[in-house]
Homo-oligomer: A and B are copies of this chain.
């Protein structure tokens, strides 16, 4: 089981050099999530053969246009395609008003339910949880309210080794084995040692998405152990002052966060229009954290649980 991250857009506010505003498709088990939805995201979905109809949840980090201007167009296209299944939308306060005012003047309504949850936490908190996965949000430090998201595949139960299991076990006993317990006989003695008939559980793995933010060291505390990290890296260090002024990060700062978080791999993105060639950003990040990669359109990053 895995988390897949498909990059749809890698540019900062000005799209150029065939780079597009921020958006990522994140698959967790059989669920398809969209994270941010800059202008043109629906075309990028088509370009990379992703079906909009499969998206169940959309997470918007903040209300700067390069992170949400594709949303109303995407919702309209879903509607025209005959969508009936609910869509769950998460974003900062204001997103509902922005969508609503546009529906009002287009005299349109969606023929599928849209459930909007506004983000409001001031620390890491869970916004969506199922048996096998959860999604958390956490505040970033940007010019306006901005949230990151962590997608976690939970540690699994132990898996039964069917070739070694007696056939007479009850569902209750099988359940106990999956949870790591032994099976006892009527006299209270161990009948089956758990480790003899089960495989180890698959570990928890997670992907963290840090959208627009200035260098925020405490993220490393909150997200320590994240396997895969996306962290914006708008500038190289020679524009560190500009990064600070605009509440963005340098590639070196993104890499420092990755190093402090002890992640396995860092994805860089949100590249300024001043860089036609992105290698200076990559080189800078790798000088701090060697497992840094450019998150450009069409690339996929995978976190495997096993």
Residues of A within 8 A of B (CB): 13-16, 20-21, 39-40, 42-43, 46, 63-66, 69-70, 72-73, 76-77, 80-81, 92, 94-95, 97-98, 101-102, 104-108, 143-144, 273
Contacts and interface: CB of A to CB of B under 8 A. Distances in A.
Nearest to A104: B94
Contacts of A98: 101-102, 105
A245 to B, nearest CB: 14
Given A39-B69, A80-B273, 14 more contacts: A13-B77, A14-B80, A14-B81, A15-B42, A39-B40, A63-B102, A63-B106, A64-B106, A64-B108, A65-B76, A69-B73, A94-B104, A94-B105, A98-B101
* Copy count, this protein chain: 2
A15 to B, nearest CB: 6
7 nearest A-B pairs in the assembled complex, by CB-CB distance: A94-B105, A63-B105, A39-B73, A40-B40, A69-B73, A107-B144, A64-B106
B20 A43 contact: yes
A13 B92 CA distance: 27
A66 B43 CA distance: 13
A69 B65 CA distance: 11
Nearest to A52: B14
A143 B144 CA distance: 37
Contacts of A97: 101, 105
Contact of A102 (B65, B80, B144): B65
Given A15-B46, A39-B39, A65-B102, A107 B70 contact: no
A76 B144 contact: no
Query: Which of A43, A97, A105 has the most B CB atoms < 10 Å from its CB?
Result: A105
A144 B106 contact: yes
Q: Which of A21, A69, A80 has the most CB of B within 10 A?
A: A69
Contacts of A69: 39, 69, 72-73
Nearest to A97: B101
A144 B65 CA distance: 26
B39 A70 contact: yes
Nearest to A12: B80
A39 to B, nearest CB: 4
